Amino acid sequence: MLDVIRKKKESVVIKAVFVIIVLSFIGTIFLVWGKGDEGMGRSAGYAAKVDRTTISLEAYQNAYQNMAETYRQIFGANFTPELEKQLNLRQQAIDRLIDSTLIMKAAKSQGVSVSKEEISAAIAGMSAFQQNGSFDFGLYQQMLKANRITPDAFEESKKRELLIEKTRKAVMDKVVISDDEALKQFHKEQDKLELSYASFSAADVSAEVKLGDADLQDYLTKNAEKFKSPEKVSLSWFVLENSGQSHVQAVTAEEQESFYRKNMDRYVDKDNAPLPYEQVKERVKADAQRQKAAKALYEKAADTLFQNIKSGDLGLVAAKLGAKTQDTPLFSANAAPAALAGETALLKKAFELKQGELGGPVETAKGIYIFKVKEKKAVELPPLAQVRTTVEQQLRALKAAELAKQKAVEAQKQLAGNGAGLKLQATPAFGYNSKGDLPGIGNSKPLMEKVFELTTAGATPSEPMLVDNRWYAVRLKQRNAAPQADFAPRKDEIKRQLLPAKQEEALRAWLKELRSKAKIVYNPALTAANQ
């Protein structure tokens, strides 16, 4: 028990704001860590296995729900299912649990420890358990009890949380920023650059592209899927609507009651509670009649079709059922005629049949369809003459893009020498900016980073870069370096600025190494569901 904390006990005052969120997080820690290294929250099924440690589905679900709630608090109504998918929260949740497992194992192997005093201080500092700025032991007990967590279990979970923090900190504390790194950053922030460059776009060189018939035919053949006409069918068809026949169908009281029992979900009040049979008796009768009529009509249509299917005579089937046929022109699966729009079951069946075959009955909301495939036109690749213009446009654009890049690569090599023969442009002097705005060129963070690494000795990058559909070959024209004397007063400040990012990078690299040495198995069903 935490003797240090208990000495600070004050009056019991229950706080209802913020505490719930804090304890939901605490609850996750408990579920994950409170049940031993060999089973993170033992329950039915697992989310992942890390060596001999099992992360339960329960722990994963709680971690995910708490993460989702955090984002919901941040984004409010803007936290949509689409945003959640973009953030990949489910994968984040399981990855964080895996990382925590690996860190705990590392803490154990490295002999990292946490004292009772450290645990006491950490809990005492939690705002969820404070009243008037001081730790309230009564509130602490009450909140744990309300969340069905014992003090011992909570304190153990807090211990593990601190172990993780300590272990992470030990990795991050090893990171230092050298004087050279600080100096490089100083010049990056303070220097002004001027660039010489040559640029090339597909539009610039399109006229230079020469295409023959062989080139066009080759492109058409290799990209056949882009140009193939889709499979098409034309149909003769009729539909039997049952709306006018339901009144002739008699239903017994037993049939009505049976229909009601099987379809109670149709008859509910505004609170979704089932309505009594007597209250909806007439509706039930009408619905039962419609269903019986539809069944009878379907059976009649099926019998008639079966008796005449070998003949292939749709007109004969229609005449016996008192219907009139209609015809369609040829159409593809994704461009159905207006009369059959939305009849997906019918259309699917139509494309499964051979030319001349009868199909049906197919029952839809509109009625019962019987049809014949009049004509079926297979997928085909049109001749070059028919699609020549489109093929040439596409191939020319492709070849022009390739040629523009090729010219930029050659120009970049020339710039590494004297650049003779190149038509060069120059930028005005500019400083580094994180947005990547390069005057005269455009916006490119990668190019901005690359050019600020250039020196007099290494004035050109190895490759050109694409910016806004235009290739740029660049060379450092001039670098106006900031005075070296200005560096010393700013050195420590720059190091402090650079340290957090480098620490995070070191931590990511360390975790990556831990993962590479561990055997991690994801639940296949969970992995599929998260995609």
Predicted confidence at residue 387, as pLDDT, reads: 95
With contact defined as beta carbons under 8 Å apart, do 429 and 414 qualify? no
Question: Tokens at residue 418, please?
Answer: 């004297």
Q: How confident is the model at residue 85 (pLDDT cuts 50, 70, 90)?
A: confident
pLDDT at residue 23 above 50?
Answer: no
Whether the per-residue pLDDT at 242 is higher than 90: the answer is: no
Average pLDDT for 291-320: 90
pLDDT band at 77 (very low <50, low <70, confident <90, very high): confident
**Of 203-207, 339-343, 490-494, the least confident:** 339-343
Q: What is the distance between the alpha carbons of residues 61 and 31, in angstroms, rounded to a whole number?
A: 10
Position 255 pLDDT exceeds 90:
no
According to CATH, the topology of domain 3-175+511-530 is Triger factor/SurA peptide-binding fold (1.10.4030)
CA distances from 48 to 119, 174, 220 (A): 29, 31, 48
pTM of the model: 0.61
pLDDT of residue 395: 97
pLDDT value at position 104?
94
Which pLDDT value is given to residue 249? 67
Q: What is the pLDDT of residue 358?
A: 94
> Which range (261-270, 409-418, 510-519) has the least confidence?
261-270
Alpha carbons within 13 angstroms on the beta-carbon side of residue 173 total 6
264 band by pLDDT with thresholds 50, 70 and 90: confident
Query: How confident is the model over 355-380, as pLDDT tens digits?
Result: 999 998 999 888 899 999 999 999 98
Find where tokens 């700013």 sit. 490
Structure confidence at residue 245 (pLDDT) = 54
Share of the chain above pLDDT 70, in %: 89
pLDDT at 529: 64
Q: Which pLDDT tens digit goes with each residue over 407-434?
A: 999 999 999 988 888 999 999 999 999 8
428 burial via Cβ count (<10 Å: 0-12, 13-18, 19+): exposed
Higher pLDDT, 251 or 330: 330
Distance (Å, rounded) from C-alpha 49 to C-alpha 102? 11
Residue with tokens 């190091």: 495
Do the Cβ atoms of 182 and 189 come closer than 8 Å?
no
pLDDT at 31 over 80: no
Q: Give pLDDT, residue 287.
A: 85
For residues 213 and 219, what is the distance between their CA atoms, to the nearest angstrom?
A: 10
Which alpha helices (H) appear in 174-280, and where do they start and end? Answer: 179-190, 202-205, 213-222, 224-227, 253-262
**What is the full DSSP assignment across 363-378?**
E-SS-EEEEEEEEEE-
Q: Strand pairing of 470-480 and 192-201? A: antiparallel
Tell me: pLDDT of 26 over 60: no
- Give the integer Cα–Cα distance in Å for 182 and 378: 68
Q: Which of 363, 378, 346, 201 is nearest to 296 (CA)?
A: 363
The CA distance from 300 to 237, in Å, is 17
From the list 314, 158, 318, 336, the residue with the least C-alpha distance to 233 is: 336
Q: Identify the CATH number of the domain defined by range 229-377.
A: 3.10.50.40
Which two structure tokens, joined as six digits, stand for 221? 């053949």
Rounded to 10 deg, the angle between the 151-173 and 487-517 helix axes is 120
pLDDT of 82 above 70 = yes
Structure tokens that stand for 338 in this block: 């207006």
pLDDT of residue 17: 30
Q: Which long-range contacts (CB under 8 A, 24 or more apart) does 284-289 make?
A: 284/256, 284/259, 284/260, 285/251, 285/256, 286/246, 287/259, 287/263, 288/251, 288/255, 288/256, 288/259, 289/246, 289/247, 289/249, 289/250, 289/251
How do beta strands 358-363 and 130-131 pair? unpaired
What is the per-residue pLDDT for 42?
43
pLDDT band at 260 (very low <50, low <70, confident <90, very high): confident
Mean pLDDT of the chain: 87
Does position 8 have pLDDT exceeding 50, yes or no?
A: no
Q: Kindly report, residue by residue over 442-491, the tens digit of the pLDDT.
A: 999 999 999 999 999 999 999 999 999 999 999 999 999 999 999 999 99
pLDDT, tens digit, for every residue of 392-402? 999 999 999 99
Residue 24 has pLDDT above 50, yes or no: no
Confidence of residue 289 (pLDDT cuts 50, 70, 90): confident
Which pLDDT score, from 0 to 100, does residue 168 have?
96
Tokens of 350: 């139509």
pLDDT at 4 (0 to 100):
42
**Averaged pLDDT, 143-164:** 90
**Does 34 score more than 50 pLDDT?**
no
pLDDT at 335 over 80: yes
Percent of the chain with pLDDT over 90: 65
Write the DSSP assignment of 58-75 as a string of letters.
Answer: HHHHHHHHHHHHHHHHHH
**pLDDT beyond 50 at 41:** no
Average pLDDT of the segment spanning 88-102 = 93
